[in-house]
């Protein structure tokens, strides 16, 4: 019983109450430009965002359908575009428009090789009431397979969607 109270006390200290919802569901549409030969693809996706503090959050992809030259469906990111990702969202007010910084880390498998994806961008969001936001998020993502002679890709992705507080 003491351990349970200690755990609850730690959680109350580590996860203070904030105006931002602790858990957000985020449906979005994404435009992907790049992928070596300049392809342009469109994806419809759903993400989950966990905000342990009001200044930062973690996002991961639940599912995505990509349309274009690389038609694909993935659960928790198993393709080039919606790779298994772990994004860090750092909420800040750099200017009146930029309200968070997105740092991208991810892995995906292609052609028997595992590739690393890293990148970053900015997010512009507008509060819509009741813990809901709309957002626009341009991001650059660099991927590398680590295989000698393999292509590295620089992908520009722009996402637009909603963050629904749960």
pLDDT beyond 50 at 17: no
Judge whether residue 164 has pLDDT over 80. Answer: yes
Query: Rounded to whole angstroms, how far apart are CA atoms 54 and 75?
Result: 28
Could you read off the pLDDT of 124-152 as tens digits, one per residue?
999 898 889 999 999 998 888 776 566 67
List the one residue out of 70, 84, 137, 93 whose CA is nearest residue 115: 84
Catalogue all structural domains in the chain, each as residue range(s) with its CATH number. Answer: 20-165 (2.40.160.20)
Beta strands 84-91 and 100-110 are antiparallel
pLDDT in tens, 57-108: 999 988 889 888 768 888 776 566 556 778 999 998 877 777 999 999 888 7
**Per-residue CA distances from 89 to 14, 18, 68, 71 (Å):** 17, 15, 28, 28
């Amino acid at each position: 019983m003491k351990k349970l109270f200690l755990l609850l006390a730690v959680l109350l200290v580590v996860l203070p109450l904030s105006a931002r919802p602790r858990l957000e569901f985020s449906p979005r549409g994404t435009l992907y430009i790049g992928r070596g030969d300049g392809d342009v693809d469109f994806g419809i996706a759903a993400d989950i965002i966990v905000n342990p503090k009001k200044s930062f959050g973690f996002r991961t992809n639940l599912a995505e359908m990509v349309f274009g030259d690389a038609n694909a469906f993935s659960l928790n990111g198993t393709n080039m575009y919606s790779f298994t990702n772990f994004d860090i969202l750092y909420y800040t007010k750099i200017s009146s428009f930029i309200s968070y910084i997105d740092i991208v880390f991810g892995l995906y498998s292609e052609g028997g090789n595992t590739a690393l994806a890293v990148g970053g961008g900015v997010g512009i969001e507008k509060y819509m009431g009741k813990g809901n936001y709309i957002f626009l998020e341009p991001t650059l993502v660099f991927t590398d397979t680590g295989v000698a002679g393999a292509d590295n890709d620089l992908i520009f992705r722009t996402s637009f969607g909603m963050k629904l507080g749960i």
